[in-house]
Structure 1
Amino acid sequence: MGLRDATADRERRDLVTRQVMDESRLIRFVAAPDGSVAPDLARKLPGRGMWVEATRDAVAHAASKNLFARAAKAPLKPSADLAETVETLLFRRCLDQLGLARREGVLISGFEKAAAAIRSGRAAWLVEAADGSADGRGKLLALARHQTPPPKVCGLFTADDLSLALGLENAIHAVLLEGGRADRWTTEVERLAGFRPLTPPSWRGDAAEDPDGFSDGRGFAP
């Protein structure tokens, strides 16, 4: 069972806004034995969960105001860089998921294979290296506009990040095919989107920012 499956139709209250939200939009924290606050991204650590919306501002606010101590009714001391810690952990989880997807045969890499996957209509995500060439990226983004619905787009990782995660040399273009793995990755990357944009600002003007509205700037097609 994946994270998305495990959190389906389950809601929790955000410590910051006090709003009830689906678990997929929240980060779970628990009190660590040393009195600090530990992120529990897999939602498996023992203890009473404390839930915060998966955004940098929300986690930073919860830490600075020490809303965790109030929720736990204990003298907890969250680290000042808790939001950065969560971002780093989410970043790594997303890369790990891509590595698993490749081993399972549901992640296609390379320009020609990525283009073929998009033409097949089975692409859930187009993952482009942030430092890849605009020419190749633009061609795949233009091609992706013709898939219905178009795949979502992620340009968060460098070629080095992707190469290491996928066990490849010079990984630039990849397509994550529709299915359970893509659903699980979507949950993770949508949480990461609350901490950093999924497409670099330098991509503005590419096909991803086409007037037709291919992408909303966070990597999500409308």
Structure 2
Amino acid sequence: MIAAAQTGDGDADDGELVVNDRTCIVTREATDPADLIRFVAGPDGQVVPDLKRQLPGRGCWVRAERALVERALQRKLFARALKTDVTAPGDLGDLVDRLLVADLAGMMNLARKAGQFVSGAMKVDNAVRSGEALGVFHAVDAAADGVRKIDQARKAWRLGTDAEEDIASFKLFTLAEMEELMGQNAFIHAAALAGQAGEGVVKRATKLETYRTSGHSGANGGAGRSRT
């Protein structure tokens, strides 16, 4: 469903913004809030990302793609959508990325405590072959041989179960980035397992990857999801 006409390059036209709880202020495309990022005006007049969609006040939405967040910033769409004199920090795209990263790391730690996130090549391989893994994670600088072996396990699982898709695979952080982010819980290979917390990890990883890679935004960070 499209909330308003779009221009040829996918941007909204320059008419009056149409804003509702499910409309991206850049594309004017109405979609699931899970695929959007909410922004509100903070007490200091700054635009604030509201990832949990809980902050009070009027909000506006941008599809979770860095290129679109930066486009909204460049076109000064936040003030128009929020109908107030707000300013957006020039590093808003980086800020959203950091918040998405922190959200993912927090869910990984929660899933680990719940027994739904394991690390180590052997544990990941076993989780994949047993069908318990919902998604696998590799450090961007992980050894190619280790990644290849887990990819083989993913392929064997898919062929053995006639699944339409492989278990999701992500490369989002270097080992050094993870050590800074997660300390002793940093990993080279890991897997999110079946369960609510494991599902939360995959959901957040997918959103972060989409934010970084959609629209060829050139965002920092590792390679994206693999289905090979």
Does the residue aligned with 1:51 lie in a helix, a strand or coil?
strand
Shift in CA distance, 109/88, structure 1 to aligned 2, threshold 3 Å: same
Shift in CA distance, 39/141, structure 1 to aligned 2, threshold 3 Å: same
Contact 1:99 1:165 in 2 (8 A): no
**In 2: Cα distance, 1:31 partner to 1:55 partner:** 20
Aligned to 1:218: 224
1:190, CA displacement in angstroms?
2.2
The count of residues paired between Structure 1 and Structure 2 equals 194
Which is greater in Rg?
A: 2
Alignment partner of 2:118 out of 86, 108, 115: 108
Alignment partner of 1:187 out of 196, 200, 203: 203
**In 1: Cα distance, 2:209 partner to 2:225 partner:** 8
Alignment partner of 2:69 out of 59, 63, 71: 59
TM-score (norm 2): 0.78
Task: Please say which of residues 156-165 and 46-55 is displaced more in the overlay.
Answer: 156-165
Query: Which amino acid is the alignment partner of residue 205 of structure 2?
Result: V
Q: Percent identity?
A: 36
Does the residue aligned with 1:186 lie in a helix, a strand or coil?
helix
Query: Which amino acid is the alignment partner of residue 88 of structure 1?
Result: R
**In 2: Cα distance, 1:122 partner to 1:164 partner:** 28
Contact 1:24 1:187 in 2 (8 A): no
TM-score (norm 1): 0.80
Structure 2 unaligned spans of 5+: 1-20, 215-222
Contact 1:125 1:177 in 2 (8 A): yes
1:100, CA displacement in angstroms?
1.2
**In 2: Cα distance, 1:164 partner to 1:102 partner:** 18
Report runs of 4+ in structure 1 exceeding 4 Å deviation. Answer: 163-167
Structure 1 unaligned spans of 5+: 1-10, 199-216
